[in-house]
Structure 1
Amino acid sequence: MLERTFERALFASRWLLAPFYAALGIGIVVLLVKVLQELVHFVLHMWDASEAQVILGVLTLVDLSFTASLLIIVMFSGYENFVSKIDHADHKDWPEWMGTIDFTGLKLKLMSSIVAISAISLLKAFMDVKGSSDRDLIWLVSIHMVFVVSGVIMALTDRIAAGHHDK
């Protein structure tokens, strides 16, 4: 009986993750405010901006969009993997990927999103190469390569592990 009570309490503790996913939802609201702020700044200065500044402005919007998408992936996949399944019968526009991403898929999507965000930051630095020191560029490239190599190693590890379980 003690074991059963402990297991029920342990299983119920998964709901402690729900506020974390709600906090990510608030994070999306903060990103929305930031993207609107960037958009207003971008539009108000478009006539005076150089081509490089326009590209940097667009890359900033893309970067914020990737980050918000990453939060959505983590929120829904994490909630469905660790807390509870979402009843999406009433949602006709429910994306197919939601509810189908397991923890391995979530890790890979998370890593690929981080690599994409890092690549955009790196591209922004290269677009403003005169405003960046060689040291800063070396650090940005190094950090980006760490993300890329980590992602490849993670994907290979998951692939090897999946192949091991198939046998």
Structure 2
Amino acid sequence: MLEGLIEKIIFASRWLLAPLYLGLALALVPILFRFFDAFWHMITHLTDLTTGEVTLEVLELLDTVLLANLIIIVLFAGYENFVSKMAIAEGSEDRPHWMGHVDFSGLKIKLIGSLVAISVIELLKDFMQEGTYDAKREGWRIGIHMTFVVSGVLFALMDMMADRHKSQR
């Protein structure tokens, strides 16, 4: 009887994550503001910007969109994997095809892929900027980017090995 009560409490504790996912949803508001602020700045200064500067501005917008996508991936996959299925999305034609199919392993791969994409955009922005070049800073950024890339490859290899191990059973 005590064991059943403990298990009910532990199982119900997953709902403690729900406010965290709600917080992630709310984190999209400042990202949305930042996107349109950067977009407005680009549009209002378009005649003063060089092609390279426009490219940098667009890369900034892409960076913001990728961050928002990352939040949505974590929000949907995390909520469905750890809290509860989203019944409201079951019959919706707008439901993302991956929703409900991304397990914790797939979530890790999607996260690292998003981080690599964000990191490469940041590197590209750095290399396109005119002015002083800080080799030490850029070296660190490249090192961090390569750490993301290697981590992603290792995660994928570990998942592949785990899948093979499961299929051999």
TM value normalised by structure 1: 0.96
Match in the other structure for 1:45: 45
Match in the other structure for 1:31: 31
Q: Aligned partners of 2:75 and 2:49: how far apart in 1? A: 37
Match in the other structure for 1:55: 55
Q: Aligned partners of 1:6 and 1:158: how far apart in 2? A: 32
**Alpha-carbon spacing, 1:68–1:105, altered in 2? closer, same or farther (3 Å):** same
> 1:160 offset after TM fit, Å?
0.8
**Alpha-carbon spacing, 1:41–1:131, altered in 2? closer, same or farther (3 Å):** farther
Equivalent runs, 1:61-72 vs 2, <5 Å? 61-72=61-72
Match in the other structure for 1:16: 16
Q: Aligned partners of 1:106 and 1:23: how far apart in 2? A: 19
Equivalent runs, 1:138-157 vs 2, <5 Å? 138-157=139-158
Q: Aligned partners of 1:132 and 1:23: how far apart in 2? A: 38
CA deviations over 1:50-107 (Å, ceiling 9, x no partner): 1111000000000000000010000000000000001124523212111111111110
Q: Aligned partners of 2:152 and 2:93: how far apart in 1? A: 34
Residue type of the partner of 2:23? A
Match in the other structure for 2:4: 4
Q: Aligned partners of 1:132 and 1:78: how far apart in 2? A: 40
Q: Aligned partners of 2:136 and 2:93: how far apart in 1? A: 51
Q: Aligned partners of 1:56 and 1:144: how far apart in 2? A: 19
Q: Aligned partners of 2:74 and 2:24: how far apart in 1? A: 8
What is the alpha-carbon root mean square deviation over aligned residues?
A: 1.1
In structure 2, the gaps of 5 or more residues are none
Residue type of the partner of 1:60? E
Q: Aligned partners of 2:90 and 2:72: how far apart in 1? A: 19
Give secondary structure in 2 for the equivalent of 1:47.
helix
> 1:131 offset after TM fit, Å?
3.5
Residue type of the partner of 1:64? T
Residue type of the partner of 2:24? L
% identical equivalent positions: 47
> 1:128 offset after TM fit, Å?
1.0
Are 2:122 and 1:121 equivalent residues in the alignment? yes
Runs of 4+ in 1 over 6 A off after TM superposition: none
Q: Aligned partners of 2:118 and 2:26: how far apart in 1? A: 20
Q: Aligned partners of 1:26 and 1:132: how far apart in 2? A: 37
> 1:129 offset after TM fit, Å?
5.2
Q: Aligned partners of 1:154 and 1:95: how far apart in 2? A: 24
Match in the other structure for 2:78: 78
Q: Aligned partners of 2:99 and 2:20: how far apart in 1? A: 18
Query: How many pairs does the alignment contain?
Result: 167
Q: Aligned partners of 2:135 and 2:103: how far apart in 1? A: 41
TM value normalised by structure 2: 0.95
Residue type of the partner of 2:104? F
In structure 1, the gaps of 5 or more residues are none
